[in-house]
Structure formats: structure tokens, C-alpha cells
Amino acid sequence: MSNLTIRQISLAFILSAFVAAPTINLAQAAGSDTPSPPPASDSSKSKGSKAESKKKGEKKSSIEDPAFLQGYRTAYATIYEQNDYAAAIPQLKALGQDDRADVANLIGYSYRKLGNYELASVWYERALKSDPDHVRTWQYYGLWQVEQGNREQAKHHLAKIEALAGRDSAEYQSLASALTGGRTSY
């Protein structure tokens, strides 16, 4: 192989790493309470081989789709940096993957922040149907329960988070604080 070919291959690998790498939230790096972005891929849903997935006509994996990643990051920033929940909902729905736990959870979160608790519940349920072990959905839905006065349900959500992520997780700490009357920014 020529030096030019080796350089081109190296450059391609480096560029692909930047495209696939998650963004770093500067506010979080500074120590704020903003949660990190949920992973862009849903490894818990990988069933069967790639050939089987293509036979069923399923969409290309989101982690491989730069348009999805960019749209997701934009919606994420709209929610956590701009606090513009109304604008984030159509951004998330436009991704065409609102049956994914990460996306459905953020739609539910946005509706909850807008005070539309009915729709928030629908979207949280959709997220959990997609991924019953989605910790952030258990946290946000638990906070929804606290806001609705459903303390027993919130405790159930807290126990689920403990089983999935442990007591030291940010999700557990946030919901536990809300249950004891502490403030939470979620």
C-alpha cells in the first residue's frame, strides 16, 4: 500500500470516530445537574442477525445514521440547554424513531415540563414498552408520579432504578431526593 492510501484510510477512521462519538455536554463537564445524553444506539433491542434485520425492512441502525444523530443532538440541546420543550417535541418526532426508548422518553419529559401530564404518561409508557430497562425513563416517570402525588408508584419506580443501576446512580439519587421533598432539576 502506498503512503497516500494509508493516510486516507487513517483519516477515514479518525473521521468516523468523530461522527460516531457522543457529544460532550459542556454544562455537565462543568459539574451541573444536566443529565448526559442517552446513548444513541439501543443495544438491548438487537435481535437476530443483520441479515434478518434487513429482510424485515427495518431502518438502518441510528448509530450509523448521521442525520439521526444530528437531529437527536439538536433536540437534546433544545431541551436541556434552551429549555424549549415545545420546540423539542416536533424535532424528536421528525426523527421518525419515536418508538425508541431514548426518543419517546424525551418526548414524555418535554410534555411533563409543559404540564401535559396525560401525554407525558403515554410517552413514558411507550418508552418502557420499547425498553423495560430504560433507567432514565423509570427516573422521569417516577418524577412524574411524585408530581401527581403517586408516592407509592414513585417508590416502585425507585426500586426498579435501584435494581437496574444501583443506589449510587444519578437517576436513583434524583428520584430519592424528590420523594423526600428535595428539589430536582429533572
Query: Tens digit of pLDDT for each residue in 60-80?
Result: 456 678 999 999 999 999 999
Tens-place pLDDT, residues 111-129:
999 999 999 999 999 999 9
Q: Domain residues of the chain, as ranges?
A: 66-116, 133-185
H/E element, 76: helix 66-80
pTM for the full predicted model:
0.69
